[in-house]
Structure 1
């Protein structure tokens, strides 16, 4: 197997610190990345707040996350408790940018009406999904695949933590 890439996990705002630690194992198992929780946490991202939408622009947060990467890190993933958007969508559960090697996942919509165990699994699914994008995977049409585009928290509940065979093979090709 190729050298394992290191993913820096960063708390943005106030998600539970244990939530980030609980991403390490699924990211290693399903995407082959070594995830480490950053000692640096970012405050609530007021710089990304859009008053007219009452949401936070995910790209502005990702630009800030990139500044925390050190040479050992090949990518960065922020976990936040604020509601995210991109201009063409009502909201996003997460967003990734391959070029800057940064991604962000929000627990804001994922936590609605669920217990801690279900929230943890939803965040794991979304974090593995965004890491897949950072590694070069695209969306998948299989609603059970972790790379399926989740448009609601219920889509996350349907998805498995692992990629389907097609996406797994694609990841193997990308890792060569």
Structure 2
């Protein structure tokens, strides 16, 4: 079976080295080859909601979708703006299986973390969203990468890897 390829796209101005730091965890824990896009998207002013002072995930994902090239399985934007979906006060990220797009933000993950702890939080959430793109759902195990994190501390508790149940589910999905 050919390896799945995930296109990583900078949206706004996340640190340049960050996208490269995501490649190994995605390969190791999800079996996905991550490729950094040559083209970045500017800060997503089009997605800004002035009532919430946040950026709507779906508007950003709609801009990411056309960036997929033949042979690429999915696309994920990495941004530094505060994200939301209508039913939540905020989200660390969002994935849509049908459009094969996702977006993850550093904005709230920065809370109380810098350097390596921040890098690990971002890696955890990127691997989590990649799991959704591959067909995995949320997990009840707070240590599993597929656990639904509601605080940065939830991210800190999670491992980068899947629990046994989620690993088995991913194997089934990849058959």
TM-score category, normalised to shorter length: over 0.9
TM-score, length basis structure 1: 0.98
**Alpha-carbon displacement from aligned partner over 1:133-168 (angstroms, at most 9, x marks no partner):** 000000000000000000011100000000000000
Structure 2 unmatched runs, 5+: none
User: Residues 127-166 of structure 1: matches in 2 within 5 Å?
Assistant: 127-166=126-165
- Give the corresponding residue for 1:75: 74
- Counterparts of 1:91-106 in structure 2, within 5 Å, are 91-106=90-105
Structure-2 residue corresponding to 1:21: 20
Mapped to 2, the partners of 1:107 and 1:72 lie a distance apart of 28
2:35 paired with 1:36: yes
Per-residue CA distance 1:82-117 (angstroms, 9 max, x = gap):
000000000000000000000000000001221210
When structure 1 is superposed on structure 2, of 110-119 and 152-161 the one drifting more is 110-119
Q: Please provide the CA RMSD for this pair.
A: 0.5
Structure 1 unpaired stretches of 5+ = none
What is the aligned partner in structure 1 of residue 111 from structure 2?
112
Q: In structure 1, how many angstroms separate the alpha carbons of the residues matched to 2:124 and 2:3?
A: 20
CA distance in 2, matches of 1:128, 1:26: 7
Q: What's the CA shift string for 1:43-84, capped at 9, x where partnerless?
A: 000000000000000011011000111012110010000000
Q: Distance in 1 between matches of 2:134 and 2:162?
A: 13
| TM value normalised by structure 2 | 0.99
Name the counterpart of 1:46. Answer: 45
Residue in 1 aligned with 2:125?
Answer: 126
CA distance in 2, matches of 1:127, 1:174: 19
SS of the residue corresponding to residue 29 of structure 2 reads helix
Q: Deviations over 1:20-44 (max 9, x none)?
A: 1000000000000000000100000
Q: Which secondary structure does the structure 2 equivalent of 1:66 belong to?
A: helix
Shift >2 Å, 4+ stretches:
none
